[in-house]
Amino acid sequence: MESNYCELTGVIATLEKVALTPAGVPRQRLWLEHRSRQLEDGHPREVQARIAVILAGGMTRQAQSLKEGQRIKVTGCLSRAGYKGDARDRLQLIAQTLDTLNQD
């Protein structure tokens, strides 16, 4: 079986409203902005990324207390954002766990 696991920390840039899928499952998307310093071939490099994080089912209840600007750590798997057009080339993180972090 192939592995697909991602752990990312960052700041909630945008928190969208909960919507229901056609099957009636609550679904919410937030946009996470990540900034860090990473080593690339032994040299420090500033890294920035913005990715959609998808919360589904019970995860949306946990998100009720989240706010834009809040730092979080999220784990889950990566998936493409859709099957047509540009969405085929965009990644999103399907959340399995979400923890709030202390503000630095």
- Which CATH number describes the domain made up of 6-68+77-98? 2.40.50.140
- pTM metric for this prediction: 0.90
Listed by start position, the domains of the chain span: 6-68+77-98
Confidence of residue 63 (pLDDT cuts 50, 70, 90): confident
- Phi, then psi, of 4 in degrees rounded to 5: -150, 90
Label residue 104 by pLDDT band (50, 70, 90).
Answer: low
pLDDT in the model for residue 76: 97
Kindly tell me the burial class for residue 79, based on how many C-beta atoms sit within 10 Å of its own C-beta (0-12, 13-18, 19 or more).
middle
Torsion angle, CA of 85/91/92/97, rounded to 10 degrees? 160
